[in-house]
Structure 1
Amino acid sequence: MIVALLNQKGGVGKTTLALHLAGEWARRGKRVTLVDADPQGSALDWSQQRSRSGAPRVFGVVGLARDTLHREAPELARDADHVVIDGPPRVAGLMRSALLAADLVLIPVQPSPLDGWASAEMLALLAEARIYRPQLAARFVLNRCGARTIIARDTAETLADHDPPVLAATIGQRVLFATAAQSGQLACEFDDDGLAAREIAALASEIERLRVGTATS
């Protein structure tokens, strides 16, 4: 399965989610490759920091920030159970290529009306991609949610009737994710049973239950 994390809006946590989903699936014994398709190269930086710290390699990270991604990602998928694409913000050609490469598009949004409005351009690109890939599945992911905040609840309720719908699993606003990113590690390596690790595990499990390939939305 090729999962692309995409949003035209920057700063929504695409790289954090991509790294942690890849790490969670690797923990479960899956062969995983993460594709850094963001010209900023944040996932590659994380991988290099991890290597410098002497931490063991848990999944492969390759840089493919070019608009031939839809032709190259399927080749990577032949040797992996999951390919996770950390997509670019505001690069239309790269975004279109990532959409055409993916089996499932995850659109991370923060619990804010502004994030919903900012997703409009992303949804237009998704609709365009579905002309060529009508079975392309997509879901919103609520990320950086404050605990039990009214705005998070309202955002989830708004997206519940949306196309694409929102996943039930949500990811909290946790300092541990930033700490992990800076050190080339994963949240579960700091606290295997902490809230951050459990949230990522729930998200990974929900994605796997989608049975992508037969879904129509």
Structure 2
Amino acid sequence: MIVALLNQKGGVGKTTLALHLSGQWAREGKRITLIDADPQGSALDWSQQRTREGLPRLFGVIGLARDTLHREAPELARDADHIVIDGPPRVAGLMRSALLAADLVLIPVQPSPLDGWASAEMLALLAEARIYRPQLLARFVLNRCAARTVIARETAETLADHDPPLMSATIGQRVAFADLAQSGRLVFEADDNSAAAREIAALTAEVGRSAP
């Protein structure tokens, strides 16, 4: 399965979710390749930091920020159980290529008013990709979510009947994600019973159940 994390808006947590989804699957014994399709190269930076810290490699990270991604990803998928694509913000050509490569698109969104998360451009690109890939699945993922806030509840309620639908698993606003990223670690490596680690495990399991 090829899973792409995409959103035209930057700063919604695509890289964090891509790394942790990859790490959780690797922890479960899956062969994973993460494609860093963001010209900023944050996932590659994380991987290099992990090497500098002397931490074991959990999965491969490949930089592939070009619009031939849809032709190259299936080749890489032959040697992996899952491919995870960390997509670019606001690069339409790269976004289109990632959409054409994917079996499942995850769109991370943060609790915010409707016009904050509903990117008309992102949904238009998704609709365009489905002309060529009618079987393409997509899901919103509520990320950096303080569960008890009114805005989080309202965002979840708004997305509940939306197309694409919302994943049941949500990821909280956890400082552990940012703190651990500085040393190239994932949350389960620090505490596999933490709220952050449990949320990532729940999301990964739901993504697996959503597989086409």
- Normalised-by-shorter TM-score class: over 0.9
User: 1:211 Cα shift?
Assistant: 3.1
Instruction: Confirm or deny that 1:86 pairs with 2:79.
Output: no
Can you give the 5+ residue segments of structure 2 that lack an aligned partner in the other structure?
Answer: none
Instruction: Confirm or deny that 1:155 pairs with 2:132.
Output: no
Q: Map residues 28-67 of structure 1 onto 2, 5 A cutoff.
A: 28-67=28-67
User: 1:130 Cα shift?
Assistant: 0.2
2:188 corresponds to: 188
User: 1:203 Cα shift?
Assistant: 0.1
Look up the equivalent residue of 1:51 and give its one-letter code: T
Deviation sequence 1:96-135 (CA, Å, 0-9, x none): 0000000000000001014323x22100000000000000
| Structure 2 contact 104–211 (Cα < 8 Å) conserved | no
Q: Map residues 168-207 of structure 1 onto 2, 5 A cutoff.
A: 168-207=168-207
Counterpart Cα distance in 2 of 1:133 and 1:8: 20
User: 1:142 Cα shift?
Assistant: 0.1
Count how many residue pairs are aligned between Structure 1 and Structure 2. 211
* TM-score, normalization by structure 1: 0.96
User: 1:81 Cα shift?
Assistant: 0.6
Look up the equivalent residue of 2:130 and give its one-letter code: R
Query: What's the RMSD between the two structures over aligned residues?
Result: 0.7
Counterpart Cα distance in 2 of 1:53 and 1:148: 36
Counterpart Cα distance in 2 of 1:115 and 1:128: 22
Percent identical among aligned pairs is: 82
Can you give the 5+ residue segments of structure 1 that lack an aligned partner in the other structure?
Answer: 213-217
2:211 corresponds to: 211
Deviation sequence 1:141-174 (CA, Å, 0-9, x none): 0000013111111111100110000000000000
2:123 corresponds to: 123
Deviation sequence 1:170-208 (CA, Å, 0-9, x none): 000000000121110101111110000000000000011
Counterpart Cα distance in 1 of 2:18 and 2:211: 19
| Structure 2 contact 147–153 (Cα < 8 Å) conserved | no
Deviation sequence 1:76-105 (CA, Å, 0-9, x none): 110101100000000000000000000000
Counterpart Cα distance in 2 of 1:167 and 1:30: 22
* TM-score, normalization by structure 2: 0.98
Counterpart Cα distance in 2 of 1:184 and 1:60: 14
Look up the equivalent residue of 1:96 and give its one-letter code: R
